[in-house]
């Protein structure tokens, strides 16, 4: 069974850097075809894709946020981290990590429970 769980600060100030961690189990990110990514969802809005990292260390980020995003992995700990620089109140959202690989390279088959991040001074 695949599980993912996000952790990190619930409140950050404008201009600060946000770092979130996704701890996962039930798969190995070193196995062919596996991937972990991040999506955020502002209250009442549709999900917005942020970044993804694959088993072969291939990484992709949303073009609109690319300069502010960094995704990394720690295979020894089964964790993936997302860093977002220069946070702004519009970045207030629930941040989810997700898994790819059960039904194909691009199919989001599992989600974490999400973590709400509020940006406010």
What residue ranges bind another protein (CB under 8 A)?
37, 39, 46-49, 52, 60, 62-64, 96, 102-104, 106-109, 111-114
**Residue 73, H or E segment:** strand 69-74
Compute the least distance from the CB of residue 52 to another protein, in Å: 7
For residue 115, what are its two tokens? 């973590």
As measured in angstroms, the least distance from the Cβ of 15 to another protein is 26
The dihedral over CA atoms of 83, 20, 48, 66, expressed in degrees to the nearest 10, equals 10
Q: How far is the CB of 46 from another protein (least distance, A)?
A: 4
Nearest residue (CB) to another protein, 15 versus 113:
113
């Amino acid at each position: 069974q695949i599980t993912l769980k996000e952790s990190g600060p619930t409140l950050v100030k404008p201009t600060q850097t946000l770092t979130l961690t996704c701890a996962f189990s039930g798969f190995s990110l070193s196995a062919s075809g596996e991937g972990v990514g991040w999506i955020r969802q502002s209250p009442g809005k549709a999900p917005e894709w942020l970044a993804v990292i694959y088993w072969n260390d291939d990484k992709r980020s949303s073009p609109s946020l690319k300069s502010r995003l960094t995704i990394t992995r720690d295979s020894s700990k089964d964790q993936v981290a997302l860093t977002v620089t220069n946070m702004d109140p519009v970045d207030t959202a629930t941040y989810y990590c997700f898994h790819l690989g059960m039904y194909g390279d691009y199919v989001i088959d599992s989600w974490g429970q999400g973590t709400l991040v509020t940006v406010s001074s």
